Amino acid sequence: MGEARGRKSIFVTGAASGIGAETARHFAKKGWFVGLFDIDEAGLKDVSEEIGTDKSISGKLDVRSREDWSNATTLFSEATEKRMNVLFNNAGIGRHGWFEEIPQDEADQVVDVNLKGVINGVYACLPLLRETSGARIVNTASAAGVIGTPMLAVYSATKFAVRGLTEALNLELADQNIHVTTLTPWFIDTPILQSSAPQGSNRNMKDDLTEGGVEVYPVSMAAEKVWEAVHGNQTHYLVGKAAERTQLASRFLPGMVRKRLRRGLPRRENA
């Protein structure tokens, strides 16, 4: 396992794939020391070997577990001399489909990972962040947290909550010189888009998006925006022109956005 040795450090959750892995690569190339944490230990091993064990440290982390958080932050602290420049609260899951067709246990998992996982992360990492001048927290939200998104209802609700939490903490922690912001991407080409529709269907979210002509952006665009969020002063960083258009339209033309979303819905199979 590597040590920071004076380098700036970033703690990344959901680092085994998608936005987390690409962000880890991006920061490592910029000379940062990267903490790679995920529930997927095999994926972590691949990313760690790619980045280099001298530039990173990795460990299992189920963001729902406070014990896992304690173990992960202890490991990270030992490698960074009790410093953390950035907490990237990125781990997330989604369940795609009509609300009543998503099993309630799966809906609970979405809330536990996407919202409680972020809250757990802030609690666990605050001591290290407070010890680090100009520390940052970047929480991954979503354009689905800007406008309520059908067939992603619970996911959308968690991302609205992450935005609210971020705005509140950014005010609360300002006197401790900790800036809190969100990464707010449009649909990014990551494994979360492969999440299947309810039982019996072999379709996934990406299939529906592609058929509907919805833009899907490369993961590199999100990683670049995380870098911008770490070095900028805004509260929310939107990824992709579609996310920017959605935010403007939801603010000034909410009725139009709702009509467009309704028109884009597929027919219910049991209708």
Q: How do residues 208-232 score in pLDDT, each as one tens digit?
A: 555 555 566 688 889 999 999 999 9
Task: Specify the length of the chain in residues.
Answer: 271
Taking all residues of the chain, what is their mean pLDDT, rounded to a whole number?
87
Residue 147 has pLDDT above 60, yes or no: yes
**Which parts of 38-116 fold into alpha helices (H)?**
41-51, 66-80, 104-111
- Of the candidate CATH numbers 3.30.70.260, 3.20.20.70, 1.10.3210.10, 3.40.50.720, the domain formed by 9-263 belongs to 3.40.50.720
User: Is 217 labeled as catalytic in the residue annotation?
Assistant: no
Tell me what the mean pLDDT of segment 29-54 comes to.
Answer: 96
Specify which residues 239 forms β-bridges with: 185
Sheet with 136-140, edge to edge strand ranges: 56-60, 33-38, 9-13, 86-89, 136-140, 179-185, 236-239
Q: Which of 123, 155, 217, 237 is catalytic?
A: 155
